[in-house]
Amino acid sequence: MYKSEIKEFYDKNKAYCHYPFREIYNNSSGHYKLCCHANVHPDTRKYTTQNITPFKYFRSKEMEGIRNKMLSGEKMSSCQVCYQMEEASGESYRTKDVKKISGIELEPASIGLKLRVHGSYCNLQCYMCHPHNSSGRRNEMKAVYGKEVLKKWMPNFKGLNYTQWNDILKDILDNIHLVEYIVVTGGEPLLLPKQWEMIEKIPEEHAKHIHLAYDTNLTELTYKNHSIFDVAKKFKEVDLRASCDHYGRKLEWIRYPINRKRFESNLIEAKDLIKFINCAPSILNIYDLDKIYDYYKQHFGLRTQFTSIVRTPHMLSIKNVKDKDILLKKYEKLEWFNYIKSELSMPIYDKDNIKMKKYCDDLSKHRNFNWRELWNEF
């Protein structure tokens, strides 16, 4: 196709998204999804990392059917997040990535992997993190609310056994010649032994063609005899996406029990590998996004992006703020404004923030660290 034809296709087709054509993603409960923002698609709900390996899922007749439907312009029921964003602001994760590519991918090639298969150990207990994704979070939730309440937060959680993980690793290595990029998540990926085992087993001849990215809390840069700086020598490119949702004491509460000085020291040491600071807008930082951006720009020369909106649990969403018009005006020139605008446009879930306050009070009591002293606006 010529560029004009490609643009015409994009303009007319409001369903096409390149993720189902070039990325394999699964969440921590083992379900494969069309991307990290989508819900589980009904056609592929039966597939999990416990019963099918990544590339077999990707090549399944169900995924082929989904790709064909998208090419014909049929919207997917699992992609409501993007459709709602586009209705609210005209932009979404789908449209943002469509703009980056130069052609329509009729045949899956140059595959990206974003697989949560290496474990969920994490040394932090971030207040907005889903318990599926963090052992530290599960431990805190169990201590605060008990085992039965924790089960309600994560009803179908089941980790991989050793045989299942080995089957997945073999599948990845058998298809490594097709892999263009790998995004490693956790838990905290730099503290996961299985992640390091995978990295070691990827042949250098293929690693030199792979872009490797880590969604990391950046509290550690080494693990036993492994170093992120050694990995950077092996792969085509390595970038660290440093998850960080505030600065100072507010950072220490949101991402408890982070060692702030150690984190900032690692920002300096690994600056050449850090692509951006990834801040997840939630009800406890929505009023400070401009300050957060300026802090990391001025002190570390690093750019902050705000695309990872906290949507669940609903009580922590920015849609619950009362003065939405003020925030919309305040952030209208922010680079990531459309993502924030789309969430602010959603109906209020908890008008008086009653559930959020009770939840933060519960965490504060367990942590012996009072959130109300930091956020006196609540």
DSSP conformation letters of 232-292 = HHHSSEEEEEEE---SHHHHHHHTTT--HHHHHHHHHHTGGGEEEEE----TTTGGGHHHH
Distance of CA 189 to the CA centre of its chain: 12
pLDDT of 108: 67
- In angstroms, rounded to a whole number, what is the distance separating the alpha carbons of residues 86 and 74? 16
- C-alpha separations of 208 from 60, 201, 235 in Å: 29, 13, 5
- In angstroms, rounded to a whole number, what is the distance separating the alpha carbons of residues 20 and 16? 9
Q: Is the dihedral of CA 242, 243, 248, 252 positive or negative?
A: negative
Report the relative pairing of strands 111-115 and 222-223 from DSSP bridges. Answer: unpaired
- In angstroms, rounded to a whole number, what is the distance separating the alpha carbons of residues 353 and 351? 6
What do you get for the CA distance between the two ends of the chain, in Å?
A: 55
Q: Is there a contact between 88 and 78 (Cβ–Cβ < 8 Å)? A: no
Tens-digit pLDDT string for the chain (378 aa): 555 666 677 778 889 998 999 999 999 889 999 999 999 999 999 999 999 999 999 999 999 999 999 999 999 999 999 999 898 888 899 888 666 665 666 666 789 999 999 999 999 999 999 999 999 999 999 999 998 888 888 777 778 999 999 999 999 999 999 999 999 998 999 999 999 999 999 999 999 999 999 999 999 999 999 999 999 999 999 999 999 999 999 999 999 999 999 999 999 999 999 999 999 999 999 999 999 999 999 999 999 999 999 998 999 999 999 889 999 999 998 888 888 998 998 899 988 899 999 999 999 999 999 999 999 888
State the angle between helix axes of 337-344 and 80-89 in degrees (0 to 180), rounded to the nearest 10: 100
C-beta neighbour count of 133 within 10 angstroms: 22
- C-alpha separations of 82 from 10, 35, 101, 305 in Å: 15, 11, 18, 18
Q: Is there a contact between 19 and 97 (Cβ–Cβ < 8 Å)? A: yes
Residue 285 neighbours by CB under 8 Å, 6+ apart: 245, 246, 250, 254, 279, 292
pLDDT of 104: 65
